[in-house]
Amino acid sequence: MPADEHDSLALRLLGDIGESDTASRRSGERIMSFYQRSARPGAGRVRKLLEAWFAEYPARQKAALRQRLWGSDDDVFCAAFFELYVYTLLRRLQLDVEVPLSAGPYDTVEDFRVWRASQLVMRVAATCLESEQKHARQDGFIRDIQERIQALYCGDVRFSLHVRGEFKRQPRCGHVARRFVDWCAQNVAQIEEALKAGRGPQDLASFAVNEAGAGVELSPFCLKAKARKYPVETVPFVVAVCVSEGLDGIDICNALFGDEVCETRIGPDLDHYDTALKRKRNGLWLGPRGPQNTRVSGVLIADEVFCTSVAKQAPVLYLNPWAANAVPAGTLPIAQMVLNEAAGGLQRVPGPPIHEVFGLPSYWPFDPT
């Protein structure tokens, strides 16, 4: 694993505050602006935690993370905070965490590479479920772009993608993908030279285009000619999802394994019937033809995790029973849901209290009662 670069002094997340501003958060006020100015004891504890977690983040990615935490709306902050949360959680579980230079708000491949004893044991992607339509449209655009570029390039092409503004109509994904691939082909020598020199995506030339009313910028950081360093086929892949709308366990199981339905069977004489609970084969992991998406080894569900609830809301890891690469036992010692075939359902494996994992009192950030 490359040496981790941490710098707690070069860049701070928040500055000094006054001693008398105890007003509530104002309408429209950015979350970080509130914690920057508030002299409330609880806000002070959150501010101290954010600063401590930020200090542990790799120095080369701090500036980008700080910019997103200070984003213009709450959704941007929540997405950036969740990445910081997942990074810190993994470290508190005694794992080494690498943040690839490609990590960012629109990189859907991976956000973290997880190591133990100098061995790569897992890749993790972190995402937030957003309810607003503009985010759904952008996410769909990003997925479509990635699929089209992979098909056009017929190999290993990786890139970071940023969207500025909101799409006013359905974007022409194929048009953008073709232009980007053509641009890569024209600049492949310069891109490879920059990569060999150790420069990251932020230092490379980028392809920009206006599409459907929004600005789209793509920066390549891995082309077909560059060998993949970490083989996907041998490393478990976990998706960490922050849920902000209070999904319960039934909703999550339906999404992963298929909707639960009641099946009734009527006998030939029509006077006998029996019923049983079944699952429709329309889940992420179980489809019409059987197990699918086996590349996803597990889904880490963080329900309503926010900077004020990290000591209360414990994440739960749902393990894929058909994963091509299972998460090694003991790698993530937190609460888990595993398939118990003998019992015919999921079984919860408890984990340690989440406040103990983060080294916080159970009542944090409030005063003890």
Highest mean pLDDT (candidates 32-46, 62-76, 199-213) = 32-46
For the chain, give the mean pLDDT: 77
The pLDDT assigned to 351 comes to 95
Q: What is the pLDDT of residue 337?
A: 94
Mean pLDDT of 304-321: 94
pLDDT of residue 361: 96
Query: 118 forms bridges with which residues in the sheet?
Result: none
d(CA 292, CA 257): 10
CB-based contacts of 269: which residues, under 8 Å, 6+ apart? Answer: none
For residue 232, pLDDT beyond 90:
no
Q: How does residue 19 score in pLDDT terms, banded at 50, 70 and 90?
A: low
Residues 315-347 have pLDDT tens digits of: 999 999 999 999 998 999 999 999 887 766 789
**Do 60 and 5 meet the contact criterion of CB atoms below 8 Å apart?**
yes
Work out the pLDDT band at 132, boundaries 50, 70, 90: very low
Condensed to tens digits (0 to 9), the pLDDT of residues 204-225 reads 567 777 776 666 666 665 543 3
Q: Determine the pLDDT at residue 85.
A: 97
> Residue 7's pLDDT is what?
43
Sketch the domain layout of the chain as residue ranges.
157-222, 232-357
* Geometric angle at alpha carbon 193, from 189 and 196, rounded to 5°: 140
Residue where the block lists tokens 């501003």? 21
Alpha-carbon Rg for the chain in angstroms: 23
- For residue 108, what pLDDT band results from cuts at 50, 70 and 90? very low
pLDDT tens for each residue of 257-266: 888 777 677 7
Higher model confidence: residue 129 or residue 104?
A: 129
Number of other CB atoms surrounding residue 305 within 10 Å: 25
- Rounded distance between C-alpha atoms, residue 258 and residue 252, angstroms: 9
